[in-house]
A and B are shown apart, each in its own frame.
Chain A
Amino acid sequence: MTAYVIRRVLTGLLILVLLSMLTFVLFNALPADPAALTCGKNCTPQVIEANRIRLGLDLPLWQQYIEFVKGLFAGRTYGSGTATFACAAPCLGYSFRRGEEVTPLIINALPTTMYLAVGAFVLWMITGVLLGIYAALRRGRWQEKVTLGGALVGYSFPSFFIGLLLLFFVVIRWQLLPYPSYVPPTDNPVQFFQTMILPWITLALIFAAFYIRLTRNQMLETLSEDFIRTARAKGLPERTVIRKHGLRAGLTPIVTAAGLDLAGLLGGAIIVESVFTLPGLGRLAVGAVVDSDLPVIVATVLVAGSFIVIANIIVDLLYAVIDPRVRLSA
């Protein structure tokens, strides 16, 4: 087990390093001149050159990468002589466009994205898994057909279209809610919930549709296994068979998928955040793309990717704990 854990964590770390390199190279090597992007259209060549040196963009790419990694772990200092400024330990870079360090930008955007992701997660896991089990237990009857048919409809709606439809009917036409305008829950919990309810529903609808299908398939597969037959044969009541034996075995893959989906969302739900103008990681990234703000783009891609890699490691380890066959075969 220990060997498996060590190996899995090490490959995960390798992926993280590769991810950071790929991101760094992709976004720093491809634009014609990253330094020219540090200030607006009416920029003098002198300013560009000065910025190039201050940000270390005159160094070869591999040296820039090392500086970047150093900044991440130990902090770094930009510039030289009198005009220096320090960027403290988890330093993800400096955005000239905004005149701010990148790390606080990310940290400020993170809570919004987390509220969005976790709220939607709770909604879709409850509805998705329950309806999925329900569909499996009503196999072959109309209840199953309706549930699965509804799931396929939900699954086919592009998220931004659902979001816009909800916005149109609930807010504009029926005026059940005020127009969404994000505030932190600590400032004004009522407005927070009024703003978040539609984004939560939008995300949850799409994911729930997927989890209904997944859960139903998993349950059916598990219920046809030999150990379920054994459990029934030894005279256990059907309720116990399903709760104790079916659910435990059938839900393991769902836990895996759920972990990865949640991690993916923590990196920013770009579309839903854009539709409902929530100031999360996704909108930070989209804004950075519009402004060609390279340091922010690199940082958001890195943070989002790291969530996925870390979730992958955790899920694999959990899986190995639950199912001994995994670590024996690996």
Chain B
Amino acid sequence: MSTDTTVPPAAAPPPSVSGAVTGLSLRQLAWRRLKRDKAAMFAMWLLVAIFLTALLAPLITNLLGVNPYDFDLTSLDPAQGSLPAGPWGGASLDHPLGVEPLTGRDLLSRLLFGARVSLFIACTAVIMIAIIGTTIGIIAGYKGGWLDTVIGRTTDLLLAFPFILAILALSPVLTQRLQAMGLSPESSRVVYLVLVFAFFGWPYLARLIRGQVLSLREREFVEAAVANGAPTRRILFREVLPNLWAPIIVYVTISLPTLIATEAALAYLGVGIVEPTPSWGKMLADSVRYFAVVPTYLFIPGTALFIVVYAFNVFGDAVRDALDPRTGRNVR
């Protein structure tokens, strides 16, 4: 699916603000607009809470006296082929969200620890995408010429590449290579996913940034810097880059939920995190075998995934509106 990344030309100060609030920077104005959006604020605090929960997962599970790795056969019903005993997937005071069939591992703690892996992969990958995509986009847009052509063709090529398929297919080979370099099986999966997400993710952003730079290049302040004899590097990173924050931030907030969902989809297809490390996508994949008899096992990670992605989308939408007054729902 093509991503919805229509982004404003950067740094156009909104003219609508009256004299009473002069002296506000673009960033302050955007923040002010964002704060007025109640749904966005709710989504933001929800995301903060989710991040904190993921960060503090070991602490929380310790307090509750559960952990994601221990088998608890007493919570299973041997008469039913080791399905969770009791209704609601074996939910009880010991295991508030129930247990995994066959093993009796606690689902709440697996959900919390799974969030750590998913969020870590998505956040690291998005940072790499932002750095690589911005750098390459600035270079292509500012330098032009053959460099621009080469970069343009490379992005065309990578955008045409069926990347989910490629990530699936390359996974066994590349994780082996990473393990040969001394990584544990677990961390090699994480590193692999971050690397392939970055590799297939930067072209979109690079193309976006290139377009922005093409128009920024012709602006007076860049001309002035050139006339002053500023070195190219200074022009690029001191003059051009600060005007690109809006599209970069918008792109990052839009990509994060996509990456989280993609990671889960890959785990569902069998690529990704290995046992015993929990991951939402893998929980979903495992739950498929049981979902006719233990539906809660499917609903729990699925709902968690939906809430995180939805919160990111609501927040991302609001950020875009805040940074670009023209698309704003309340402006115009």
Contact = CB atoms under 8 A, between A and B. Distances in A.
A270 B269 contact: yes
Interface in A66-117: none
A271 interface: yes
B261 to A, nearest CB: 5
Given A19-B157, A157-B306, A161-B284, A207 B1 contact: yes
Contacts of B157: 15, 18-19, 22
A1 interface: no
A155 B168 CA distance: 24
A301 B162 CA distance: 6
Interface string A158-169: 111100110110
B173 A164 contact: no
B258 to A, nearest CB: 10
Interface residues of B, number: 46
Contact of A30 (B6, B161, B173, B298): B173
Given A168-B291, A217-B327, A305-B162, A290 B302 contact: no
Given A26-B170, A27-B169, A301-B166, A159 B265 contact: yes
Interface stretch (B14-22, B93-101, B307-315): B307-315
A285 interface: yes
Given A22-B157, A260-B2, A312-B160, A160 B169 contact: no
A160 B265 contact: yes
Contacts of A286: 168, 269-270
A156 interface: yes
Interface in A131-181: 140, 152-153, 155-161, 164-165, 167-168, 172
A152 B314 contact: yes
A18 B153 contact: yes
Contacts of A309: 160
B25 to A, nearest CB: 27
A59 interface: no
A210 B1 contact: yes
Contacts of B306: 156-158, 161
Interface in B159-218: 159-162, 164-166, 168-174, 177
Interface string B270-310: 10000000000000100010011001001000100110011
A303 to B, nearest CB: 9
B306 to A, nearest CB: 6
Contacts, number: 132
Contacts of B269: 270-271, 274, 286
A264 to B, nearest CB: 7
B264 interface: yes
B1 A261 contact: yes
Given A152-B317, A214-B4, A297 B292 contact: no
A268 interface: yes
Contact of A292 (B162, B172, B268, B329): B172
A155 B2 CA distance: 12
Contacts of B1: 206-207, 210, 261, 264
A240 interface: no
A308 B160 contact: yes
A164 B156 contact: no
B268 A30 contact: no
Q: Chain B CB within 10 Å — which of A19, A158, A206, A297 has the most?
A: A158
Given A152-B314, A158-B309, A301-B166, A19 B160 contact: yes
Interface string A280-324: 001001101110100001001100110011001000000000000
Contacts of A157: 306, 309
B257 interface: yes
Given A30-B173, A158-B261, A213-B4, A305 B161 contact: yes
Contacts of A206: 1
Closest 9 CB pairs of A and B: A156-B310, A304-B162, A161-B302, A156-B309, A308-B160, A158-B261, A30-B173, A297-B169, A289-B168
16 contacts: A14-B153, A18-B153, A19-B161, A22-B161, A27-B170, A140-B329, A156-B257, A160-B265, A160-B268, A168-B298, A270-B269, A282-B165, A286-B269, A289-B165, A301-B161, A304-B162
